Copies of this chain bind each other. A is one copy, B any other.
Amino acid sequence: MSVKPIRILGIDPGSRVTGFGVIDVYGREHQYVASGCIKTPPAAPLPERIAVITRHLNEVVRLYRPVQAAVEQVFVNVNPAATLMLGQARGAALAALVMHDLPVFEYTALQVKQAVVGKGKAAKEQVQHMVVQMLALSGTPQSDAADGLAVALTHALRNHSLAAQLQQGGLNVKRGRFQP
């Protein structure tokens, strides 16, 4: 592992819990750095919940200094109020990332499952299991933290030539995927 790693922060946004995972990518190798989840107080006023997400992600970026971020896309809910709330939580997470000038890439849940498990209809437990395998973890991370790691892994897997392209300095980004 003499190559300089690319550090990726993966985020799984949620109105109650925002999962995050940090990995180092050395070409086709991945190494676990950190993961966790940010829980917002459900009874608190919205600005307070937004502040919890923003400040914690701010801390994560300052502490681990990722160079790229991958964020899971969220679905519209049958409940419009829940959709609005989820949107606000995700917007806050994105704001915290772009404020650090982090390039942000978006992946759907389907893309994450396909990249990590190999099929789009995988259960949450299968995602957790594959994250443990791919990062050679000694324990199973909490579900939201595992989703954060999974979206970081998705970004790494979909961009194998990441390191080479970054080293060439001629990175051309389009719709969340690197274009050769």
Contacts and interface: CB of A to CB of B under 8 A. Distances in A.
A54 B90 contact: no
Oligomeric state, in copies: 2
B76 A80 contact: yes
Contacts of A96: 95, 99
A98 B50 contact: yes
Interface of A: 45-47, 50-51, 53-55, 58, 71, 74, 76-77, 80-81, 83-99, 103-104, 106, 175-176
A179 to B, nearest CB: 13
B98 A47 contact: yes
Contact of A81 (B50, B53, B76): B76
Contact of A47 (B46, B76, B104): B104
